């Protein structure tokens, strides 16, 4: 028993430190002898998922959920993978299963939705990092469908729209960010950049001034204002 526990802890330590190949090797050996640890299958599900082995991820997450039907994180992960594989009906079934996992009334659902939204946002960032804007935008939309009130995700979505060239939608989404969080200096920075790219210099200046009123220590805002106001004086 102690050997199994030690092996489990070694696998978990590798997983937590990002050594996923080592963790997979340990956990795959572990389940040859003990197949009743839901945690292990949840870890394996994630490792398979990031290795683009979706079918193995699905099998691992299903095993985790079968072992522990109240395992919120495994249910969330399972739903995301199923949805990514085009099995949205099954994903919704497991999402609905979360309704019965409420150890604290009203808290579990918000937590789960937030976790799922952040997972979609993380995927969106990965796509954006390799300039796959359509896929990135789609993931941001999925995140906001789950949690429309998250201003940081909406800001990233607006930036992705702008970088993709959809300026009209980007302007609208920057406005939506500011409506939800009027003291968000970062939103004014990017709103101003968008106006500047469109040639609306006055609007850009107005956005950056509003941002500067919120955060006068922001180097980007102070630099942009200095350069833009200096250029206008020269004109």
pLDDT of 44-63, one tens digit each?
999 999 999 999 999 999 99
Type and span of the H or E element at 107:
none
Neighbours of 10 (CB within 10 A): 15
- The share of the chain scoring above pLDDT 70, in percent, equals 89
> Per DSSP, which regions of the chain are E strands?
none
CB of 58 closer than 8 Å to CB of 78: yes
Dihedral Cα 95, 96, 101, 105, nearest 10 deg: 110
pLDDT for residue 106 is more than 50: no
- pLDDT confidence of residue 125: 93
Q: Tell me the pLDDT tens digit for each residue of 172-221.
A: 999 999 999 999 999 999 999 999 999 999 999 999 999 999 999 999 89
- pLDDT confidence of residue 102: 47
Domain boundaries, the chain: 1-101
Among 26, 31, 93, 89, CA closest to 63: 31
Neighbours of 47 (CB within 10 A): 21
CATH of span 1-101? 1.25.40.10
The predicted model scores a pTM of 0.56
Q: State the DSSP string of 36-77.
A: --HHHHHHHHHHHHHTT-HHHHHHHHHHHHHH-TT-HHHHHH
Structure tokens at 184: 């968000």
pLDDT for residue 99 is more than 70: no
pLDDT for residue 108 is more than 70: no
* 103 — pLDDT class (breaks 50, 70, 90): very low
pLDDT for residue 100 is more than 90: no
pLDDT for residue 20 is more than 90: yes
Mean pLDDT throughout 97-116? 56
* Count of CA atoms in the C-beta half-sphere (13 A) of 10: 15
- pLDDT confidence of residue 143: 94
pLDDT for residue 234 is more than 50: no
């Amino acid at each position: 028993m102690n050997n199994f526990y030690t092996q489990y802890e070694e696998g978990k330590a590798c997983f937590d430190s990002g050594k996923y190949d080592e963790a997979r090797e340990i956990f795959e050996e572990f389940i040859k002898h003990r197949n009743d640890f839901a945690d292990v299958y949840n870890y394996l599900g994630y490792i398979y998922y990031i290795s683009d082995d979706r079918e193995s991820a699905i099998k691992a997450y299903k095993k985790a959920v079968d072992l522990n039907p109240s395992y919120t994180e495994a249910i969330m992960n399972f739903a995301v993978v199923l949805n990514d594989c085009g099995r949205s009906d099954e994903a919704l079934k497991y999402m609905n299963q979360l309704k019965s996992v409420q150890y604290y009334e009203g808290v579990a659902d918000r937590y789960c939705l937030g976790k799922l939204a952040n997972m979609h946002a993380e995927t969106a960032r990965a796509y954006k990092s390799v300039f796959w804007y359509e896929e990135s935008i789609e993931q941001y939309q999925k995140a906001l469908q789950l949690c429309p009130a998250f201003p940081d995700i909406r800001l990233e979505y607006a930036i992705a729209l702008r970088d993709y060239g959809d300026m009209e939608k980007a302007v609208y989404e920057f406005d939506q960010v500011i409506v939800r969080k009027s003291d968000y200096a970062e939103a004014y920075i990017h709103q101003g950049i968008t106006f500047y790219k469109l040639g609306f210099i006055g609007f850009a200046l107005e956005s950056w001034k509003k941002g500067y009123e919120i955060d006068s220590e922001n180097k980007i805002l102070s630099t942009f204002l200095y350069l833009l106001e200096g250029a206008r004086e020269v004109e």
